[in-house]
Amino acid sequence: MGTRCTWRRRRADAALMTKSLAALTAAALAIVWFALAAPVAAQEPEPFIIEFDEQLDFILDDWGGIDALVGNTVCASLEYPTEDRRVVVGVVDAPPECNQRWRVVTLTHPGGQGPLWNNLVLQPGETVLVATLMPFPATDGPDLPPFWVEVRPTTSVTIEEIRALGSLSAYVGGAWCGSVDVSDDDEAFAVPVGHEGTPDDCRLVGAEIVLVDGVDRQLAVRPTVVGFGLFYTLEDLTFDPLGRGAPAPSAAGNLGLSSGRRSATAPVLWLLVLAALLTAGRYASRAQSRSR
């Protein structure tokens, strides 16, 4: 009789432990699914507005309008004639690059007939006024690299700030594309992007360039490769607000600003799963003690 009671008690304890483990596993899976699959309320992006001076009407009327691109993506267009001289970049449902702070916005003729020499940096919530539309200068010869980033003193950048960088290197998709020493006594420098011997990605039109200083700190501004013999003038030496260093080799797809943010959800999920396992272990221990 005692043996039969002990067997029944062990059977009941085993069933209880099995149910407890099943319930805890289901709860843990539900938590993981909810954290990963449940929709997250996204903050509505603030638009970046480019406004054109009235004196440019005769040019834009002749062109029929203007396009604003980030990389190769047309983020906004403005048709002329019009009374609203604004181009709005970065709206709900726009491609991700159209809402990336610090990306360079390239202005072109409609249909991509050629980029203009206007250094516009995307800053959500801000408005910039464009008073001139300058074409890029002609190249001096075929020996020049396909693209370069010019670094020289401007109204917002001093020569001391430039020299403090030590050097500047350009990366595209994690590949090194060129460097220049900016610590000497020169007054202007040019970072080559895509010269002979560098990967083909360094000459990809519309590719995002990551600039890194002499101690591997990324700059925030992301110029864009726009074509042979053209250049971008760097007018802001602000460092990457995420504090990232030089890109890892072949880190294509990990260069956008959003990729550096680590999710706070993953550690919480691991803690919840660990708690579930510990609780299951306690149930098992209690069941084993009762069966003795």
Average pLDDT over residues 236-262: 63
**What does the buried/exposed string (b/e) look like for 229-238 if buried means 16 or more CB atoms within 10 Å of the residue's CB?**
bbbbebeebe
Three-state SS for 112? coil
Query: Which residue has better confidence, 142 or 166?
Result: 166
Average pLDDT over residues 275-279: 55
With beta carbons less than 8 A apart as the criterion, state whether 233 and 150 touch.
yes
**Which has the closest alpha carbon to 130: 116, 142, 148?**
116
- The pLDDT assigned to 27 comes to 55
What is the DSSP code (8-state) at residue 18? H
With beta carbons less than 8 A apart as the criterion, state whether 189 and 152 touch.
yes
Amino acid at 89: V
With beta carbons less than 8 A apart as the criterion, state whether 171 and 177 touch.
yes
Percent of the residues in the chain that have a pLDDT greater than 90, as a whole number: 44
If you average pLDDT over every residue of the chain, what do you get? 77
With beta carbons less than 8 A apart as the criterion, state whether 225 and 205 touch.
yes
Q: Report the distance separating Cα 234 and Cα 153, nearest Å.
A: 9
- The pLDDT assigned to 31 comes to 53
Within 10 angstroms of residue 251's Cβ, the number of other Cβ atoms is 15
* pLDDT above 80: residue 35: no
Token code pair at residue 135: 């074409």
- The pLDDT assigned to 9 comes to 61
Average pLDDT over residues 71-90: 92
**Which has the closest alpha carbon to 237: 184, 180, 129, 159?**
159
Distances (CA, A) of 117 to 106, 122, 131, 260, 290: 8, 15, 12, 30, 81
**What does the buried/exposed string (b/e) look like for 40-59 if buried means 16 or more CB atoms within 10 Å of the residue's CB?**
eeeeebebbbbebeeebeee
Q: Report the distance separating Cα 285 and Cα 289, nearest Å.
A: 6
Three-state SS for 89? strand
Average pLDDT over residues 252-258: 32
HSE-CB of 281 using CA atoms within 13 angstroms: 6
**Which has the closest alpha carbon to 160: 183, 134, 193, 127?**
183
Average pLDDT over residues 215-228: 90
Which pTM value belongs to this model? 0.66
Distances (CA, A) of 41 to 38, 44, 116: 10, 9, 37
- The pLDDT assigned to 159 comes to 95
Give 111-129 pLDDT, tens digit per residue: 666 788 888 999 999 999 9
Residue at token pair 């029944």? 8
- The pLDDT assigned to 227 comes to 74
HSE-CB of 211 using CA atoms within 13 angstroms: 35
Q: Report the distance separating Cα 215 and Cα 241, nearest Å.
A: 16
**Which has the closest alpha carbon to 165: 231, 212, 232?**
212
